C-alpha cells in the first residue's frame, strides 16, 4: 500500500514538473545501465573488444561496418583509459536519442505527454538491457532520432536550418550503420507522395538536406566506392539468402515477428492511454499524425518490404532504432487528455517494467550462471590470457609484444588487455587488416592464439610457417564455472 501511495505521489509530482521528471529519468537510466555492466561484466563484451581492435587504426572504412562507433570507443579509451567509459558512452548515445524524441514530441502533446512517450519506448529492451554494449546499433540511435526531429521540424516550420540538420543526421547515420537506408527511403517517399509535404520539393530545403548528407557522408562513400563496397559482403553474410519462393512470403512476416517480443512491454506501458484514431483533428494535427505514423512504422514496413523483395532473412538486433517514435505515436494518437489516472498508471507500469529489466539483468550475471552454465562472454578470462601470452612472448624473445594473430574474440582480448597493447592481424588474414605491414610483423614477432579445440587455423600457418606452438593455456572462466583452453604459438622476430 505504501509503495502504491509513493508511486501515486511521484506521478503527481511528475505531472506538475515534467521537465524535472524527464531529467530525473535520464539520470536514473544513465546511472543504472552504466553501473550494472561495470559491476557485473569482469570482461568487456565482444562488440566493445571488436571496436577497440578496429578503432585504434583510424580507417575511413573497414571490411564489416562503418567506422564511427569504433572511433568513439578509441576516443573514450584515450580520454578515460577505463572500461567503465565504454558503458558510459553507450548511455550517452541512448539518452541523447531520448532527448531528440522528447524534443520532437514536445510541440505535439506538451512536456508531460513528451515525458510519457519516453517512458513508453523505455519499455523496449533495446534501450535498456541491450543498450549496455556499445556498438553500431547503439550509436545509430541518436542520429536516427535527430533525423526524425529534423524531418518533422522541416515540414512544419520550413526553415533551411532544419533541412540542413536533417542532412547532417542522415549523413552521420551512414557513418554509424548502413541500416539508415530503411529510414531514408520512407522519408523520400513521403515527400513525393504526401500532398502537404510534396510542395517542399519546390523549395531549397530538401535539396540542402541531400547536399549536406552527401558532404557529411562523402569521405566514407568515396572509400566504399574505391573498395568495391566491401562491407556489403558482411551484410549479405548476416542476411541469409532466399532458399525459394516461400521465403519471399515468410521472411517479411518473420522480420516483423522478430520485433514483437521487444515491443510488448512498451505496448503494456502505453495501454492505459488508449487510442482514438477517429477523433476529429485539425489539418495541422492530421499532418503531424501522418509524420509520426511514418516515423513510428514506415521503417519496419520498409525492412519487411526489402525482405519480401530479396527473400533474405533479417536479424532481430537490426530493430534497435525502429521504435524510437512509437511512444510519440501512442501519446499523440491517444483520445484521452494527457494526465490524470491513466497517465499515472503509465508511470506505474513503466516502473514495474524497469524493475523487471534491472532484476533480470542482475540475475543473468549473478544467479543464473551457476544454474544454466551457459557461456557468457562477459566472464571470459581475457585479461589473464593476455598476461600469459605477453609474458610468454617476452620470456622467449626478450622483446615486448607488438602483434597478435587471431580472431576478433581471442586475439582481440589479448590486443586490449595486454600491457604491451599489440595490434591484431584479424584471422591471420592481411586482407582483413590491410593497415598491418606483414614484413614489420615478421621483424617484430608475434603471438598467434586460437581456441585449442579447433586446432591452429590454416591461415596462421600459411602466414607464418615459422610459428612455434606452445603448450595450451587453460584458464577458468571469471564466474559461473567452466574453463577455456587456448592454443597459442610464438613467431620469433626475424630481422
Q: What is the 3-state secondary structure (H, E, C) of 119-133?
A: HHHCCCHHHCCCCCC
Out of 17-26, 282-291, 401-410, 458-467, least confident range? 458-467
Cβ–Cβ under 8 Å, residues 304 and 182:
no
Q: Is the pLDDT of residue 1 over 60?
A: no
Confidence of residue 460 (pLDDT cuts 50, 70, 90): confident
Task: State the Cα torsion 201-222-63-251 to the nearest 10°.
Answer: 20
Q: Is the pLDDT of residue 189 over 60?
A: yes
Separation of alpha carbons 61 and 59, rounded Å? 5
What are residue 449's phi and psi, to 5 degrees? -130, 150
> What percentage of the chain carries pLDDT values higher than 70?
96
> What percentage of the chain carries pLDDT values higher than 90?
74
Separation of alpha carbons 40 and 4, rounded Å? 30
Strand partners, 473: 486
Please, what is the average pLDDT of the chain? 92
Residues 429-450 have a mean pLDDT of: 93
Separation of alpha carbons 96 and 365, rounded Å? 27
pLDDT of residue 105: 96
Q: What is the pTM of this model?
A: 0.93
pLDDT of residue 343: 86
pLDDT of residue 96: 98
User: Over the Cα atoms of the chain, what is R_g?
Assistant: 25
pLDDT of residue 6: 60
Residues 292-307 have a mean pLDDT of: 95
Confidence of residue 277 (pLDDT cuts 50, 70, 90): low
In angstroms, the first-to-last Cα distance of the chain is: 76
Residue 16, CA distances (Å) to 20, 260, 328 in order: 9, 33, 20
Between 355 and 371, name the one with better pLDDT.
355
Out of 273-287, 311-325, 452-466, least confident range? 273-287
Confidence of residue 456 (pLDDT cuts 50, 70, 90): confident
Residue 291, CA distances (Å) to 120, 273, 330 in order: 19, 20, 13
Q: Is the pLDDT of residue 3 over 70?
A: no
Between 473 and 315, name the one with better pLDDT.
473
Confidence of residue 14 (pLDDT cuts 50, 70, 90): confident
For residue 313 the three cell numbers come to: 532473412
Burial of 238 (0-12, 13-18, 19+ CB in 10 A): middle
Out of 45-49, 107-111, 284-288, least confident range? 284-288
Residues 432-452 have a mean pLDDT of: 93
From 144, 135, 136, 138, select the one nearest 104 (Cα to Cα): 144
Q: Is the pLDDT of residue 340 over 80?
A: no
From 456, 399, 393, select the one nearest 427 (Cα to Cα): 456
What are residue 475's phi and psi, to 5 degrees? -135, 140
pLDDT of residue 197: 95
Residues 139-155 have a mean pLDDT of: 98
Cβ–Cβ under 8 Å, residues 96 and 142:
yes
Separation of alpha carbons 320 and 300, rounded Å? 11
pLDDT of residue 281: 72
What are residue 275's phi and psi, to 5 degrees? -130, 145
For residues 425-448, one letter each, b for 16 or more C-beta atoms within 10 angstroms of the residue's C-beta and e for the rest, the string is bbbbbbebbeebeeeebbebbbbb
The number of beta carbons lying within 10 Å of the beta carbon of residue 473 is 18
Q: Is the pLDDT of residue 30 over 60?
A: yes
List, for residues 32-41, the tens digit of each pLDDT value: 999 999 999 9
From 383, 398, 407, select the one nearest 473 (Cα to Cα): 383
pLDDT of residue 360: 96
Instruction: Rank 378-382, 450-454, 459-463 by mean pLDDT and report only the highest.
Output: 378-382
Q: Is the pLDDT of residue 211 over 90?
A: yes
Confidence of residue 184 (pLDDT cuts 50, 70, 90): very high
Amino acid at each position: 500500500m505504501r509503495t502504491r501511495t509513493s508511486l501515486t505521489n511521484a506521478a503527481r509530482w511528475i505531472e506538475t514538473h515534467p521537465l524535472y521528471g524527464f531529467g530525473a529519468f535520464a539520470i536514473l537510466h544513465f546511472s543504472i545501465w552504466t553501473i550494472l555492466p561495470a559491476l557485473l561484466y569482469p570482461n568487456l563484451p565482444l562488440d566493445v573488444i571488436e571496436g577497440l581492435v578496429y578503432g585504434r587504426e583510424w580507417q575511413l572504412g573497414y571490411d564489416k561496418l562503418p567506422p564511427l562507433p569504433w572511433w568513439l570507443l578509441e576516443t573514450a579509451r584515450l580520454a578515460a583509459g577505463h572500461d567503465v567509459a565504454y558503458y558510459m558512452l553507450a548511455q550517452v548515445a541512448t539518452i541523447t536519442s531520448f532527448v531528440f524524441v522528447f524534443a520532437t514530441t514536445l510541440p505535439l502533446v506538451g512536456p508531460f505527454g513528451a515525458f510519457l512517450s519516453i517512458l513508453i519506448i523505455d519499455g523496449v529492451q533495446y534501450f535498456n538491457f541491450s543498450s549496455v554494449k556499445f556498438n553500431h546499433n547503439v550509436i545509430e540511435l541518436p542520429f536516427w532520432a535527430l533525423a526524425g526531429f529534423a524531418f518533422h521540424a522541416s515540414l512544419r516550420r520550413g526553415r533551411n536550418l532544419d533541412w540542413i540538420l536533417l542532412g547532417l543526421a542522415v549523413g552521420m547515420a551512414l557513418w554509424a550503420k548502413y541500416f539508415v537506408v530503411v529510414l531514408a527511403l520512407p522519408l523520400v517517399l513521403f515527400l513525393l507522395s504526401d500532398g502537404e509535404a510534396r510542395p517542399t520539393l519546390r523549395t531549397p530545403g530538401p535539396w540542402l538536406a541531400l547536399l549536406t548528407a552527401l558532404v557529411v557522408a562523402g569521405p566514407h562513400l568515396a572509400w566504399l566506392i574505391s573498395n568495391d563496397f566491401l562491407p556489403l559482403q558482411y551484410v549479405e553474410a548476416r542476411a541469409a539468402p532466399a532458399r525459394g519462393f516461400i521465403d519471399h512470403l515468410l521472411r517479411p512476416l518473420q522480420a516483423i515477428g522478430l520485433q514483437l517480443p521487444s515491443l510488448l512491454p512498451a505496448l503494456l506501458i502505453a495501454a492505459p492511454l488508449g487510442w482514438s484514431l477517429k477523433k476529429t483533428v485539425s489539418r495541422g494535427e492530421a499532418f503531424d499524425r501522418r509524420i509520426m505514423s511514418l516515423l513510428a512504422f514506415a521503417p519496419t514496413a520498409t525492412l519487411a518490404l526489402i525482405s519480401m523483395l530479396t527473400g533474405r532473412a533479417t536479424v532481430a538486433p537490426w530493430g534497435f532504432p525502429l521504435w524510437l517514435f512509437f511512444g510519440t505515436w501512442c501519446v499523440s494518437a491517444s483520445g484521452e487528455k494527457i494526465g490524470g489516472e491513466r497517465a499515472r498508471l503509465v508511470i506505474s507500469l513503466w516502473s514495474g517494467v524497469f524493475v523487471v529489466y534491472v532484476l533480470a539483468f542482475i540475475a543473468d550475471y549473478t544467479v543464473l550462471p551457476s544454474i544454466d552454465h551457459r557461456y557468457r562472454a562477459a566472464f571470459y578470462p581475457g585479461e589473464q590470457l593476455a598476461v600469459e601470452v605477453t609474458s610468454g612472448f617476452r620470456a622467449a624473445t626478450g622483446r615486448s609484444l607488438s602483434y597478435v594473430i587471431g580472431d576478433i574474440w581471442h586475439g582481440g582480448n589479448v590486443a586490449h588487455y595486454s600491457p604491451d597493447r599489440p595490434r591484431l592481424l584479424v584471422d591471420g588474414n592481411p586482407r582483413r587488416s590491410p593497415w598491418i605491414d606483414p614484413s614489420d610483423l615478421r621483424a617484430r614477432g608475434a603471438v598467434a592464439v586460437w581456441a585449442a579445440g579447433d586446432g591452429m587455423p590454416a591461415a596462421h600457418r600459411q602466414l607464418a610457417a615459422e610459428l612455434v606452438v606452445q603448450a595450451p593455456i587453460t584458464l577458468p572462466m571469471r564466474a559461473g564455472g567452466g574453463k577455456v583452453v587456448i592454443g597459442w604459438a610464438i613467431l620469433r622476430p626475424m630481422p
